[in-house]
């Protein structure tokens, strides 16, 4: 059994969680906060449109590529050690990005920053699995869900505030520099608060890792993500041939992992997580599909308010704060309700998201442009309240029965699906929005309505998956207070 299965709860666990979530907030925030800084970056560095887009796309790409590998390294090396290494890398690469003197330097810094963020993020879910049990774990995942929802929604607002405070010419640098002091403080506190793992004897590091599996999965994810993150620059048309290659590599990865399992060798991602761990496969599918509909709306809203209505980046970000506020409140509450309500909580949240975004789709074309911000505030608040009831409860239910010593890789795989869902959603909703503008003769409200209906479609699919899960196991509850699972638990 792992140490966490038998030891008493760490008395410092809540302070440790606060530190890790702060670091996690920074890494997730950097997915969206840079969008509003792109015009300033282009002026300051003379960057091309393609180069500026790579500042955003490169981070998202490398972030998604290393999530599973980062989680597995945390399982093998210890999550405290990997957290400190990854956070150090994130601080250094943030400083490098802020100090960039050329387009190339900035893009390279962002690629490295994405790698560090991808290594750090799965340590959060792994540490929650290790440090918390029973109902406390649901509460901890509720706080994690708050961070996920807030970081996605408030990025444009914070980016706009930073640029307004430090000026249009150099404000973009502080979008990156702000990570440095916060990261340094988090490093010091994490070194003091995160528990050390008892050394595992008998297996070398080489025996605990799966190098070929890392390569196969990394190339497969690259083949999916690269065309998607480049969709705004015609990536889907130019790089569509990567999708079938990614499918072949994915099949090869699964076959290789089964081969490693049968030979009792260490694996990167045990396929039995999907076939024998109750709730994991369908929970991962719900997360991926929900992020298809959820993550893309921020880009569409930004284009609508800034290009269609002439708002500033800060004004545009403020228009969607009701979603962020609703998500923050409900995620914190929902985490406490998971033990009692289980999958019904996810169902309720998805229904509210679909209803809220559907109301936006109906209202925007019929409301005067000057009143649109006020008209959508209520529906966005409803959607945000629902969104907070989706991410954290679904994460808790999905990872509930995962063996503790595989929590990092399982959490990384779950978040890889979310990154792919994000890329799919951004590409799909942006395409629908642009097509709507063309079809409606530059009618931005109608184009936004089309994009919102697309988001409702994705959310409805996630809702149907949740219904299937509930009907299959209507009385499912979280595991009991022990909540830790032995290494082989669900696979024997």
**Residue 289 pLDDT greater than 60, yes or no:** yes
**Mean local confidence (pLDDT), 119-138:** 81
What whole-number distance in Å separates Cα of residue 179 and Cα of residue 350? Answer: 33
- Per-residue model confidence (pLDDT) at position 492: 47
What whole-number distance in Å separates Cα of residue 179 and Cα of residue 192? Answer: 20
The structure tokens listed for 230 are 């480049």
**Residue 480 pLDDT greater than 50, yes or no:** no
Pick the CATH number of 11-196+268-479 from 3.40.50.300, 3.10.50.40, 2.40.50.100, 1.20.1250.20: 1.20.1250.20
- The pLDDT tens digits of the residues spanning 461-475 come to 999 999 998 888 765
- Per-residue model confidence (pLDDT) at position 285: 92
Higher pLDDT, 332 or 477: 332
In the chain, CATH 1.20.1250.20 covers 11-196+268-479
**Residue 88 pLDDT greater than 50, yes or no:** yes
CB distance 129 to 414 below 8 Å = no
| Average pLDDT for the chain | 81
**Residue 344 pLDDT greater than 70, yes or no:** yes
- The pLDDT tens digits of the residues spanning 3-16 come to 444 456 778 888 88
- The pLDDT tens digits of the residues spanning 372-416 come to 888 999 999 999 999 888 887 888 888 877 777 677 777 878 888
- Per-residue model confidence (pLDDT) at position 4: 42
- Per-residue model confidence (pLDDT) at position 440: 67
What whole-number distance in Å separates Cα of residue 220 and Cα of residue 252? Answer: 9
- Per-residue model confidence (pLDDT) at position 487: 44
The CA-atom distances, in angstroms, between 127 and each of 19, 82, 149, 437 are 11, 11, 19, 45
What whole-number distance in Å separates Cα of residue 260 and Cα of residue 340? Answer: 38
In SS3 terms, 442-481 reads as CCHHHHHHHHHHHHHHHHHHHHHHHHHHHHHCCCCCCCCC
Residue 147 pLDDT grade (very low, low, confident, very high; cuts 50, 70, 90): confident
> What global pTM score does this model have?
0.80
Residue 439 pLDDT grade (very low, low, confident, very high; cuts 50, 70, 90): confident
68 three-class SS: helix
Residue 477 pLDDT grade (very low, low, confident, very high; cuts 50, 70, 90): low
What whole-number distance in Å separates Cα of residue 215 and Cα of residue 223? Answer: 12
**How much of the chain is helix, strand and coil, in % rounded to 5?**
80, 0, 20
Residue 69 pLDDT grade (very low, low, confident, very high; cuts 50, 70, 90): confident
- Per-residue model confidence (pLDDT) at position 59: 84
- The pLDDT tens digits of the residues spanning 202-247 come to 555 566 677 888 888 888 888 887 887 776 667 777 888 888 998 9
What whole-number distance in Å separates Cα of residue 225 and Cα of residue 222? Answer: 5
**Mean local confidence (pLDDT), 187-205:** 73
For the chain, helix (H) and strand (E) counts, in that order, are 24, 0
């Amino acid at each position: 059994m792992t140490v966490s299965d038998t030891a008493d709860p760490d008395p410092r666990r809540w302070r440790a969680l606060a530190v890790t979530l702060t670091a996690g907030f920074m890494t997730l925030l950097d997915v969206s906060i840079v969008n509003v800084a792109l015009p300033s970056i282009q002026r300051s560095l003379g960057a091309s449109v393609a180069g500026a887009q790579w500042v955003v796309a490169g981070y998202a790409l490398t972030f998604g590529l290393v999530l599973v590998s980062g989680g597995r390294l945390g399982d093998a090396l210890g999550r405290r050690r990997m957290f400190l290494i990854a956070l150090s890398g994130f601080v250094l690469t943030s400083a490098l990005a802020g100090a960039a003197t050329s387009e190339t330097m900035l893009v390279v810094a962002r690629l490295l920053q994405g790698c560090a963020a991808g290594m750090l993020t799965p340590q959060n879910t792994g540490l929650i699995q290790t440090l918390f049990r029973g109902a406390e774990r649901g509460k901890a995942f509720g706080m994690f869900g708050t961070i996920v929802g807030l970081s996605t929604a408030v990025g444009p607002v914070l980016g706009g505030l930073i640029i307004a405070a430090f000026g249009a010419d150099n404000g973009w640098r502080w979008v990156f520099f702000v990570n440095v002091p916060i990261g340094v403080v988090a490093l010091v506190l994490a070194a003091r608060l995160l528990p050390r793992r008892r050394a595992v004897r008998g297996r070398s590091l080489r025996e605990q890792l799966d190098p070929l599996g890392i390569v196969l999965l990394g190339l497969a994810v690259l083949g999916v993500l690269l065309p998607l993150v480049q969709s705004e620059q015609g990536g889907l048309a130019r790089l569509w041939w990567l999708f079938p290659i990614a499918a072949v590599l994915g099949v090869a990865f699964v076959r290789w992992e089964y081969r490693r399992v049968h030979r009792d060798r260490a694996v990167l991602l045990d396929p039995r997580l999907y076939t024998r761990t109750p709730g994991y496969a369908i929970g991962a599918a719900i997360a991926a599909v929900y992020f298809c509909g959820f993550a893309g709306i921020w880009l569409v809203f930004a284009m609508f308010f800034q290009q269609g209505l002439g708002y500033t980046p800060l004004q545009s970000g403020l228009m969607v704060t009701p979603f962020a506020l609703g998500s923050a409140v409900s995620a914190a509450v929902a985490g406490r309700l998971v033990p009692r309500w289980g999958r019904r909580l996810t169902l309720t949240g998805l229904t509210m998201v679909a209803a809220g975004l559907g109301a936006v789709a109906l209202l925007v074309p019929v409301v005067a442009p000057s009143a649109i911000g006020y008209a959508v505030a209520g529906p966005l608040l409803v959607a945000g309240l629902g969104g907070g009831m989706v991410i954290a409860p679904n994460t808790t239910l999905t990872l509930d029965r995962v063996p503790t010593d595989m929590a990092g890789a399982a959490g990384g795989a779950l978040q890889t699906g979310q990154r792919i869902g994000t890329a799919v959603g951004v590409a799909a909703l942006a395409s629908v929005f642009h097509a709507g503008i063309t079809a409606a003769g530059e009618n931005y409200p109608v184009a936004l309505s089309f994009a919102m209906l697309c988001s409702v479609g994705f959310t409805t699919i996630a809702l149907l998956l949740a219904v299937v899960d509930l009907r299959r196991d209507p009385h499912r509850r979280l595991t009991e207070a022990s909540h830790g699972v032995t290494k082989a638990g669900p696979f024997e």
